[in-house]
Structure formats: structure tokens, C-alpha cells
Amino acid sequence: MIRVENLTKRYGSILAVNNVSFKVKEKELLGFLGPNGAGKTTVMRILTTFIAPTSGKAFINDIDVNENPIEVRKLIGYLPETAPLYLDMRVYNYLKFCGEARGLHKTQLSERIDWVIEACALKGVLKQEVAELSRGYKQRVGLAQALIHDPKILILDEPTSGLDPLQIIVIRNLIKKLSKEKTIIFSTHILQEASATSERILIINEGKIIADGSINELEEKAKESHLIIFEVKAKREEVESELDRVAGISEYSYVGKDDETVSKFEIRTPLDRDIRLELDQISKKNNWIVIELHRAEISFEETFLTLTKQSQKM
Amino acid sequence: MRNVWIILKKEFASYFNSTIAYIFIVVFLLINCGLFMNFFFVSEQIEMRSFFGSLPLFLIFFMPAITMRLWAEEKKLGTIELLMTLPMKNWQIVLGKFLASYLFYLIALSGTLTIPIMLLMLNKPDIGAIICGYIGSALLGAFYLSIGMLISGLCKDQIVAFILSVLFCFFFFIVGIDVVSMTIDGWISGLGNFLQNYIGLIKHFEGIERGVLDIRNIIYFISMSILFLVLNTYSLEGRKY
């Protein structure tokens, strides 16, 4: 449905997008994740034909965004980073303008307006001027504008930015619901947001794609070591002297406990080494009571930082 | 064409959504009609020549005030990103905005019709001359508006757009003045004359206002307006790169 090939965008000496390539299938939900200034917005602006690439190509439904931008625009609903709202218009009139501008007429227009009002919960603010709305409502009006012509593709730039936790959940659920029928690309710089919303994530940094895959795939790629959490009822020195004798531990650190009879450790081992069984045997040998022994899942934050570091080394 | 109408509707409505529009119309009428009436009582002549004579100069300041927000506002609000991703051709958006501002100007101009009505009630003015004067004013308005719109599209800031538009409109006005054209002729022979007769607007405006509907004068205003609108359309395309 969406095909990006070697996309590059240069502003003077700044390379905002550096040879980016990826594909998005129909009805797929893709999250762009990256820090501010990574190039997420620029890529989206090229896809929506707002700006033209310096080199490379982008295809929406096999239509080249440079050759036939008007046709591309018909297929896409776009919510830019700043919701594009005319502050002096009333909400209903704004939606009507957006619908008309997208080629909707009469009954179809009023049906779609009713639909987006329902979907974005705008019933209470229809007569208000956009300028009077709270941040959350403004964002929803912006989203309504992107949905009004029932596009097959949605491109949402930071759709939850500035919203409070409840509003974020509402928008996130709406995106997930829409993704069953539509192809959606959204962007965020918040790790938790990306992992909570979509399965597939594209990590962008400094204009380049660092990683592209499901969260599991990314975590596998980033994992450089196992992390074992080991908490026993034993004195620190005792445990440390035993750990020193275990082969295959990269490093360990004493995490500490309030209680002096209990000690907690974080142990790192290479990926091909599973020392949990050994730790259990050592504990039995020394009559330690094991309070906690588990392999910690790598956090997404760690995944992101590792992948970013890996890419910078290259 | 439907797209042009949709943009026109939105733009025209937004003029009247703010109080600035009403203030503008009031000031426009006060200054133009007020100054005319001042002169009218002194001159005791049933005609509007002084009215139309001073219009080119006054509009230099009024028109940029109408156009300065046309593009600058969109860029500030971020709605330019909406407009430029709608399935509309750029020229449709430019034309819609232009016609909305033109309609606004014509409404303000029609407020001055009280003067011809008053003259008609007093005696028999030369109606032909008055009609020609208004035709010239309408063409002049389109000319100034298209300049202002082009500049508004090139500037990020409304105030800068206003100032630059005033300067450009002023250029087209000033090269039509004898003193200026003679001075220019003194520097580069023939240039002053060329600018005054072909580029400057005064000769063309006076041509219409005098009551002689020479097609060349009409073509001047229409073609220059179209030129600026086309340049505006291209500048929109260019911002993609």
C-alpha cells in the first residue's frame, strides 16, 4: 500500500531524511519512533505530498507522490503535528469545510460529519469556536478532519502529544480500532506510546531507519546480555564469594536491601548462558532461602538505547 | 471550480469573523468619502474626479491590509499544511482566496456609492464618467490585491507582508508620476518613459477614469493581476522544494 524507496530530503547542508526505505502493507498499523528532529515529520510530509523529496521515491497505492499528488491526497487523511485548525471557525463549520474540500456532497457530507462527530466525541462542542477548545478537543477535531472522507490511509503525526493520560488512552483505542480497516502510520517520541499502540515499530534517528520490526524482534536484536534478578536470604559477602566462582557471569552488582540478612543482585550473563539452575543449586547447597530468581525482560527503553547506540557505531 | 467556491466561502466568512474587517470598512469609507466631501463643498462641482484621483494612492495602504493575512495567517496557524494536502490544485486555492478578498474590497467600494447617489439627487452628474471611475477602481483593486497576495505568500510575517506590499504597490504608482519618470530618464534615457507608460498604473488608471475605455488600459490591469496570481501559484508549488 505504501512503498518508500531511498527517500532523501536535504535542507541546505542538513540531511533531514537519509536514504529511508520501508514498506507498509494494507491495514497495517505502523509506529514511527524517534527523538525530536529525527526526521519522522519530514517523512510524513513527503508521503502526504506537502513537501517533495530531494531524491528517492514514495508510492501510495503504487501512485508516485511526485507525479500525481492530487490522487495521493485523495487516499490519505493527515493529521499534522500542529492540528491544522482555523481558530475563528465554529467546529461544525470547520468540519463542513473539510468535508466539502474533500469532495463530499450533501447527504454523504452530512452523514460523514455525523460519523466523525460520533467517533471523536465532538457533540458537545459543535457550536463553539475552535479557539475556545481545550487541547484535547482541538486534537480530536484535527483527527475528525483526517477521518471525514473515510480515507484508506491515515498519517498521524504525534496524535497524542499534549494530551492527558485519559485522553491518550481514548485516542490510542480509536487508532487501534481504526487500524482494523485502515492503513495507519503514526509517530511519537515516547517509547511507551509506541509499544502500547502498535505491533510494528520503525525506529528513526538522525534521518536514518535504525530498526524496523515488531517489538519482540527489536528486543531480540537489541538484547546483548541476559539480566538475572537474584534475591536471597544470605549475607552479601557470602553470595558474592559464591558468584565469583560461577563461570560465565559477565558482571554482577549488589542492588542492596534494607534488611541486612537479605541481599539482592543483578547479574549479567552472555546470551548463550542460563545460570538460573546453577543459582538454584548454589542456594540449596548453602541453605539460602531464595526470595526472587527470574530473568528480567529487557525494557523497551533499553532496546531503544541499545539500537540507537549500535547504529551510531556503524 | 467547485473547489474555488469552497475556498472562497471559507476565506470570505473569515474576513467577517473578526472585528478588523468592520473597522477596515468604516475607516475606508470615512477617509475616502470624508476627504471627497471636504473637497466637494469647496469645489462646488457635481463630479467625482477628486475621489477617483486620490484612490490609487489611498489603496496602496488599504489593500495590503486586506491581503497581509491571506497566506501569513495560514502559515502561522499551521493550516497551510491542511490546504496543501487537500486534493485541490494550487491555482484553485489562489483563485478562491483572491476572489474572497476581491469581493470584500468590492463591498467596501460599494459603500462609497452613497456619493453618486447624492450627486444624482443634486443635479445631473456625468454618469458615464462615474461608471468609468468605478470600473477603473475595480480593476485597480484587483491589481493591488494580486500584488499583496503574492507578497503575503512569500513572507512569514504579516507586518513584513504589509510593508513590502505597500512598497511594491507604491513602486507601480510612483513610476507613473512625471517628476519621477523624468528623473529616471535623466539616469537611463528612455527607461523613465517606458516605466511611466507601460509599467506604471497611473496612466492606465487615468485613461479609464477619463471615460475613454481603451482596451489596452483594461488589458494592463487584468494581465498584470493574472501575472501576479500565476506567480503566486508557482510560489506555492516552489515551497515544496
E-state strands within chain B: none
Interface mutation vs chain B, best among A54, A72, A94, A97, most B CBs within 10 Å: A97
Mean pLDDT on A304-311: 82
Encode pLDDT of A240-292 as tens digits: 888 888 888 888 888 876 667 888 888 888 888 888 998 999 999 999 999 99
In a domain, A112, yes or no: yes
pLDDT in tens, A226-248: 889 999 888 888 888 888 888 88
Which residues in chain B touch residue A51, judged by CB atoms under 8 angstroms apart?
240-241
* Residue B20 forms contact with A (CB below 8 Å): no
Residue A305 lies in a domain: no
Let me know if residue A311 belongs to a domain. no
Residue with cell 487500524: A179
Structure letter (DSSP) for residue A90? B
pLDDT band at A314 (very low <50, low <70, confident <90, very high): low
**Which residues span the domain enclosing A234?**
224-297
- H or E stretch covering B33: helix B19-43
User: Distance between CA A48 and CA A56 in Å, rounded?
Assistant: 15
What does the pLDDT look like over B172-194, one tens digit per residue?
Answer: 999 888 888 888 888 888 888 88
Claim to verify: residue A136 and residue A165 sit in the same structural domain: yes
Name the residue with cell 559464591. A242
Residue finishing a domain among A200, A221, A242: A221
Same domain (yes/no): A114, A253 = no
Distance CA A4, CA A22 (A): 5
Res A313 pLDDT > 80: no
A307 lies in some domain: no
Q: What average pLDDT does the segment B104-111 reach?
A: 95
Do A257 and A279 lie in a common domain? yes
Cα of B174 to nearest chain A Cα, Å: 38
Q: Quick check: B78 and A83 CB within 8 A? A: yes
**Which of A189, A221, A253 is the last residue before a domain boundary?**
A221
Please state the domain count of chain B.
1
CA of A266 to nearest chain B CA: how many angstroms apart?
49
Could you say which of B7, B10, B79 has the minimum Cβ distance to residue A84? B79
Q: Regarding predicted confidence, which is higher, B120 or A155?
A: A155
Instruction: Evaluate whether A225 touches A303 at the Cβ level (below 8 Å).
Output: no
Taking only the tens place, the pLDDT of each residue in A119-168 is: 999 999 999 999 999 988 999 999 999 999 999 999 999 999 888 899 89
Specify if A310 maps to a domain.
Answer: no
What gap in Å lies between CA A73 and CA B32, rounded to an integer?
46
Look at residues A188, A221, A254 and tell me which one is the last residue of a structural domain. Answer: A221
Q: Give residue A274's pLDDT.
A: 86
Q: What is the CATH number of the domain that holds A152?
A: 3.40.50.300
A274/A194 same-domain check? no
Q: How many domains does chain A have?
A: 2
Single out the residue of A187, A184, A156, A206 nearest to residue A307, CA to CA: A206
Give the SS3 label for residue A164: coil
Residue B65 has pLDDT above 70, yes or no: yes
| One domain, residues A90 and A115 | yes
Whether residue A133 sits in one domain with residue A84 = yes
C-alpha cell at A186: 503514526
Instruction: For residues B104 and B69, give the distance between their C-alpha atoms in angstroms, rounded to a whole number.
Output: 13
pLDDT tens profile B146-166: 999 999 999 988 999 999 999
What was the pLDDT predicted at A126? 95
With CB atoms and an 8 Å threshold, state whether B6 touches A76.
no
Tell me the chain A residues in contact with residue B84 when contact means C-beta distances shorter than 8 Å: 49-50
Contacts of B80 in chain A (CB under 8 A): 84
Q: If you ran DSSP here, which 8-state letter would residue A64 be given?
A: E
Residues A101 and A214 in one domain: yes
Contacts of A100 in chain B (CB under 8 A): 6
Q: Which residue of A has its CA nearest to B13?
A: A89
Q: Given this model, what pLDDT does residue A304 score?
A: 83
DSSP B228: H
* Together in a domain, A217 and A241: no
B241: which chain A residues are within 8 Å (Cβ-Cβ)? 51-52
Give every CB contact of residue B69 below 8 A, 6+ residues apart in sequence.
Answer: B152, B158
Within-domain flag for A173: yes
**A206 and A243 co-located in one domain:** no
Which residue type does B27 have?
A: V
Helix (H) or strand (E) holding A41: helix A40-47
Are residues A2 and A23 in contact, defined by beta-carbon separation less than 8 angstroms?
Answer: yes
pLDDT tens-place string over residues A62-121: 999 999 999 999 999 999 999 999 999 999 999 999 999 999 998 999 999 999 999 999
pLDDT at B114 (0 to 100) = 92
User: What is the domain extent for residue B137?
Assistant: 2-238
Put simply, the chain B residues between 126 and 165 with a CB less than 8 A from any chain A CB are none
User: What is the predicted pLDDT for the residue at A258?
Assistant: 61
What are A157-201's pLDDT values in tens digits?
999 988 889 989 988 999 999 999 999 999 998 888 888 898 899
A92 in reach of chain B (CB within 8 A): no
Based on the fold, state whether residues A15 and A159 are members of the same structural domain.
Answer: yes
Q: How far apart are CA A113 and CA A96, in angstroms?
A: 7
Contact status of B84 with chain A (Cβ, < 8 Å):
yes
- Calculate the CA dihedral of residues B86, B87, B88, B90 and round it to 10 degrees: 70
Answer yes or no: is A123 within a domain: yes
Please tell me whether residues A118 and A266 are part of one structural domain.
Answer: no
